[in-house]
Amino acid sequence: MIPLKYYLILSAAFFSIGIIGVLTRRNAIIIFMCIELMLNAVNLTLVSFSSFFGDSSGQIFVFFVMAVAAAEAAVGLAIIIALFRNKLTINVDEVNIFKW
């Protein structure tokens, strides 16, 4: 039986990889993917707590996180596409003016 700690360490490592991606990449879509990675890492923690504490409330939180992530994916990609249409780039360091 794998102890709870292993699951938590896995999700911590997973989360840190997501952080590296958000901080280093220039492309907005990859940053977006890395945010999904971080959300997944948090979900993993919630589910492992829920399973080891024998309480299914944790799984319901995950359910809501997924609903919000789906909404976020739709809006985020819409913003990225609108950005691309106006600026012809989705590199975050090139989008640095307040208005155009």
Partner 1 sequence: MTTYDLIFYLFALIILVSAFIVVAARNIIYSAFSLLFTFFGVAGIYVLLNADFIAVVQVIIYVGGILVLIIFGVMLTNKITEVEIKTESFQVLPSIIISGIIGGTLVAIFTKTNWKVAEPQILDKTVTEIGRFLVSHYMILFELAGIILLVALIGSVMIARKEKLETEEVEK
User: Where does this chain bind partner 1 (CB under 8 A)?
Assistant: 1-10, 12-21, 23-27, 29-30, 32-34, 36-37, 40, 43-44, 47-48, 50-54, 56-57, 59-60, 62-64, 66-75, 77-82, 84-85, 90-91, 93
**Token pair of 57 as six digits:** 């409330």
Burial of 55 from C-beta contacts in 10 A (0-12 / 13-18 / 19+): exposed
Q: What's the closest the beta carbon of residue 93 comes to partner 1, in angstroms? A: 7
Q: What's the closest the beta carbon of residue 86 comes to partner 1, in angstroms? A: 10
Cβ pair 52, 58 in contact under 8 A: no
Looking at the Cβ atoms of 19 and 97, the one nearer to partner 1 is 19
Looking at the Cβ atoms of 5 and 97, the one nearer to partner 1 is 5
Q: Measured on CA atoms in the order 45, 47, 51, 57, is the torsion positive or negative?
A: positive
